[in-house]
Structure 1
Amino acid sequence: MNRLKAILSRIDRKGYGAYKDLQGSYDFGQFTLFVDKVQRDPFAPPSLVRVRTKENRFAPELFRNPVRRTAFEDFLNRAVEQAVRRTVRGNRGSGKSGRVEIQRTSQVVLPRSSIVVESGYVEARMAVGLPARGRTVDARAARAMLLDELPEVVQTALTPAGVDEGAAREHVETVEDASHLRNRLPELGLVAFVADGAILPRESGASDRPLGKGAVPFESPEEFRVAVELPNRGEISGMGIPEGVTLIAGGGFHGKSTLLSALAWSVYDHVPGDGRELVVTREDAVKIRAEDGRSVAGVDISSFIRDLPGGQSTADFSTPNASGSTSQAANIAEALEIGTSLLLVDEDTSATNFMIRDERMRELVQLEPISPFIDAVRPLHRDLGVSTIVVVGGVGDYLDVADRVILLENYRPCDATRRAREVRERYPSRTSHEEGEVRPPMNRRVRAASIDLSRGRKEVARGKGLATVELGRERVDLTYLEQLAEPGQTEAIGRIIGEFAAGGRSRAVAEVVDSAVRSIEKNGLDSLGNFRGHPGELSLPRPQEIAGAINRIRSLQATTG
């Protein structure tokens, strides 16, 4: 600490570049401060620092297995966020001066690189905007940040003396229960589970926090109620959605899309108080939608769209500008290619001509290459073991193919399967549904050389916010990968694609993704890319979103076989 004080006194009021002298490590007694990278000026990205405690005095039970460790690291990340808000004064001086930041969390619990819990220490990786007056060193403000505020953050967020042990235990046990419940879904023959009492509505379209006043707690229909024993909470009950084809119906604003959204987000665990803590979905579930204008590279969509005019095959389909129907077919084929056991589909975000074709249009349009999804939804389960949950509000023909129907009225679900059967008998469909054969899509090999990372004299492969990956001069739009939760996942995806592109080899999409996932499992998120400083800005993405990002690269070249 004395050496740090001396350096700050020596460089005070010098040019901002003098802060480079801070790089190194400093002993603060209870913890060590590592200054890994110093920003070049006050307007550049903040400097990177780590604080590592000399020992880990937290109860070992909080991190005794991988699930608990991830949950506890998530808890400490949130504790640091809160401590920074309470303790750090914030902006002072020019540019990013005075900021202290750690990776921002969402409502979900993810493995991240920002907090590391080991048996002998706890480490937090942060970004610090070193203070400046204009473009000169402000040593007085820097001393306040590094010698006063940062130690206070460590004391209140990274030691047992400052952390609420009861809250930490609740956080860990909540995540462990959800993970246990999700792992049990296959043996129970379920694709999803919604606990009684869950709060599904969110504050707004811009907030993922639970709705407060007016939220209706979820209550399972008796016909779907399942009881499950959890390791910490004991027995709970809720609605189990079995494998097969499930229809969610109801009027507008009665909660259909809210339920589907909760299921889509429940591939992840949630924090206590979120309302969806015990809502779980198969971890490989994929939300499918139409995506007008996306590029498609060499995808086998032949199970959904037959040969096009002129004899063009759809077993190796490419386009720079897909229609709603072809994009939705490609999204399903790509989900099957990377692996999924559950598709989540909402009529509102689907292409009408992909979902259904009525009797009149079948009669009028004889040469139609599109096989509507209604004809494929049952074969998907029969032939490939892939279940579907589909939300409909205006297409009654889906009653013909549903194994069960959940009707939502005023946010309250009921079993309408028998009622739907009576409606079918009373109002027979005038359209005949021809169940086809759904084959696994042919595997593709993608050319690494088709991804150009060069931007001027440097190579770029990085995330830019939640919905963009920058690869060289190309910006890959991930807006419609609706199950991306945090910018840290996007950053990790950018680095995974960058490593693949730099390797130069053509490989199957699944091979690229599997190799990256295995490497992360073995070596941690820290292994992604060459870091200048610490890698504290990464969150773990699912294989489905990694593949989804690769598939949306407009320069991508791929072939089937």
Structure 2
Amino acid sequence: MSCDWVQGDVYAPPSRFHLEIPNSYLKYPTKFFENKTRRVALGDYMSRLYSNHLRTLNVGKKGGSWKAEKGGAISIAAPGQYVLDRTSVIVQANGDIELRLTVELPAQGRTISGMFAEHVLCNILPNSIPILLHQAQDVQKLWHHISSVEDQETLRKLIVDKNLVSFVANGSVLPRRSGDSHLPIDNNSKVVLFNSPKELQCSFTLPHKGEISGMGIPKGITLIVGGGFHGKSTLLQSIEVGVYNKIPGDGREFVVSDPNVVKIKAEDGRYVESVNISMFINNLPFQKDTTCFSTPCASGSTSQAASFVEAMEVGATAFLIDEDQSASNLLFQDQRMQKLVTPDQEPISAYVTKAKQLLVERNLSTIIVLGASSAFFEIADLVIKMVEFVPRVCTSEAKKIASEMTTSLINKNPGPLGCTNRIPLLKSIPDRSNTRIKVIHQHLVSFGDFELNLSALDQVVEVYQTNVIVDTLNFIAHLNQSNKSLKEILEEIEGLFDSQGLDAIQQNIKTNGSLSRPRMIEIAMALNRLRSFKAKQLNQ
């Protein structure tokens, strides 16, 4: 056992410890850790197991008077619904593990409680370790956890090979407990299990579960329509987190998506730096250049246009869009309004005029939730109608309506899909040597005098990912300036994560147990929203 950082006093953040435990003691068979996916799943399972065990110990003391004994709590970063590459428990290739935890060293007022500290560190902590032994496990439950994760990882690769953007297994439970919760809906609630329409049904054979069937959404332009509260957004939300593996019992274990699908929203007031948004917005008043556009306070349409282009820059393969969270004037334009505000007076080229071009020229798919507009009917490859949480294919019906009730929308010349790679100016990124940086919660980070708002990043699913995002920005800030594009820098960091783990970017303490792996796309999205960030386009 090693102490990596000691708190300054009882009210400071807790001290960090790590324990190196050999598999000669744990005695896990090789099959539990023989590949990377299984090691991640085993470490995740151990993190959950140990976190639950610590809660039953209830060691810490709180409250009371100033001189009352406080502290003593042992904690580990507790995972949620997602099985991510995390640092709370790291399983090595030989089966040895590294357990990372925090301890609130006890004190009375400002006086160290030495005897209580000794009891916690020399008795309670060592005696908590046997819970991790192989012989202490429900082996069937453990293997189900590992095999489920491996099946999900396999399925994600299979759907990409079959040119699908997403797959939703029959029997999945998509609704969540509440709008801000990832937990499945309460068992006592009425739940409609997902069942694929026969037109979209496809099957895959997985290494452990065997054959699985469900709805496959192919590459192309897909509309999800239906009345309010019938499950449109619920389906889209399940698709957006299909980039991650889930724990058994989540209900969405076998809802998987292409690893690079990106949810795009409008964000009034967001920061934009040197982005070529000319494919969506051009010919602004006073000849303002949109091929290298910057603003500290973007409108809804401008922010969403920038987000589309920024996602393309770092390798997005599909856009997920919800009409309710979008700038309507960027998605489509009404026929009557086009007659009043003619195309030569309107700087915005609506997404509906670009979606097919994005698909043909960039192989970039679209899945969009719509409830108020039929503007996309003409260009849709697939229309799914949700009726009381049951999906139905109604592509032909939508096409017929489009042909009978033509809108005669005036579409602009599609024009080029301008997406210019950018070179980050690294000195513009704050680092911890000169800026106080604090993760406030999952979607908010304090950078000195300003805040980084990540509320639009729906695919950041836990605060431990935010910790890595912030650490990665700090790592990038310390790199030597070069002519590498943002995508090239992120690809190198992805390689470091693959080969050395999340510790590769840690500047000081190498044993932070509160980290879980985000996608490079979310790291780029965070950097793009950093108000000090500066960049130059590659052709400048």
What band does the TM-score fall into relative to the shorter chain? Answer: over 0.9
Q: What's 2:255 paired with?
A: 279
Are positions 1:88 and 2:58 aligned together? yes
Kindly state the Cα deviation for residue 287 of structure 1 after the two structures are TM-superposed.
0.1
TM alignment of 1:477-556, pairs within 5 A: 477-505=453-481, 507-532=484-509, 534-556=511-533
| 3-state DSSP of counterpart to 1:318 | strand
Are positions 1:294 and 2:270 aligned together? yes
Q: Which moved more, 1:63-72 or 1:473-482?
A: 473-482
| 3-state DSSP of counterpart to 1:344 | strand
Q: 2:142 aligns with which of 168, 173, 180?
A: 168
Kindly state the Cα deviation for residue 162 of structure 1 after the two structures are TM-superposed.
2.1
Aligned length: 526
Q: Which moved more, 1:432-441 or 1:81-90?
A: 432-441
Equivalent-residue separation in structure 1 for 2:363 and 2:371 (angstroms): 26
| 3-state DSSP of counterpart to 2:316 | coil
What letter is aligned with 1:40?
A: G
Are positions 1:104 and 2:72 aligned together? no
What letter is aligned with 2:136?
A: G
What letter is aligned with 1:363?
A: K
Kindly state the Cα deviation for residue 434 of structure 1 after the two structures are TM-superposed.
4.7
Retained in 1: the 8 A contact 2:196–2:391? yes
Equivalent-residue separation in structure 1 for 2:275 and 2:220 (angstroms): 25
TM alignment of 1:88-487, pairs within 5 A: 88-92=58-62, 97-118=71-92, 119-156=94-131, 158-212=132-186, 213-366=189-342, 367-434=345-412, 436-453=414-431, 458-461=434-437, 463-487=439-463
Retained in 2: the 8 A contact 1:462–1:495? no
Are positions 1:61 and 2:31 aligned together? yes
Q: 2:5 aligns with which of 3, 22, 37?
A: 37
Retained in 2: the 8 A contact 1:451–1:501? yes
How big is the alpha-carbon RMSD for the aligned residues of Structure 1 and Structure 2? 1.8
Q: What's 1:47 paired with?
A: 15
Q: Structure 2 vs 1, CA of residues 242 and 434 (structure 1 numbering), >3 Å: closer, same or farther?
A: farther
Retained in 2: the 8 A contact 1:338–1:510? yes
Q: Which moved more, 1:99-108 or 1:293-302?
A: 99-108
Equivalent-residue separation in structure 2 for 1:539 and 1:454 (angstroms): 20
Kindly state the Cα deviation for residue 204 of structure 1 after the two structures are TM-superposed.
0.6
Q: Which moved more, 1:280-289 or 1:414-423?
A: 414-423
Kindly state the Cα deviation for residue 260 of structure 1 after the two structures are TM-superposed.
0.3
Equivalent-residue separation in structure 2 for 1:187 and 1:454 (angstroms): 42
Retained in 1: the 8 A contact 2:271–2:295? yes
What letter is aligned with 1:111?
A: D
Retained in 1: the 8 A contact 2:168–2:254? yes
Equivalent-residue separation in structure 2 for 1:390 and 1:338 (angstroms): 21
Retained in 1: the 8 A contact 2:332–2:351? yes
Equivalent-residue separation in structure 1 for 2:331 and 2:69 (angstroms): 51
Retained in 1: the 8 A contact 2:277–2:418? no
- Structure 2's unaligned 5+ residue stretches are none
- TM-score normalized with structure 2 length: 0.94
- Structure 1's unaligned 5+ residue stretches are 1-32
Kindly state the Cα deviation for residue 207 of structure 1 after the two structures are TM-superposed.
1.7
Q: Structure 2 vs 1, CA of residues 532 and 137 (structure 1 numbering), >3 Å: closer, same or farther?
A: same
Q: Structure 2 vs 1, CA of residues 454 and 105 (structure 1 numbering), >3 Å: closer, same or farther?
A: closer
Kindly state the Cα deviation for residue 320 of structure 1 after the two structures are TM-superposed.
0.3
Retained in 2: the 8 A contact 1:196–1:217? yes
Kindly state the Cα deviation for residue 348 of structure 1 after the two structures are TM-superposed.
0.2
Kindly state the Cα deviation for residue 512 of structure 1 after the two structures are TM-superposed.
2.3
Q: Which moved more, 1:439-448 or 1:292-301?
A: 439-448
Q: Structure 2 vs 1, CA of residues 418 and 96 (structure 1 numbering), >3 Å: closer, same or farther?
A: farther
- TM-score normalized with structure 1 length: 0.90
| 3-state DSSP of counterpart to 1:215 | coil
Equivalent-residue separation in structure 1 for 2:176 and 2:528 (angstroms): 30
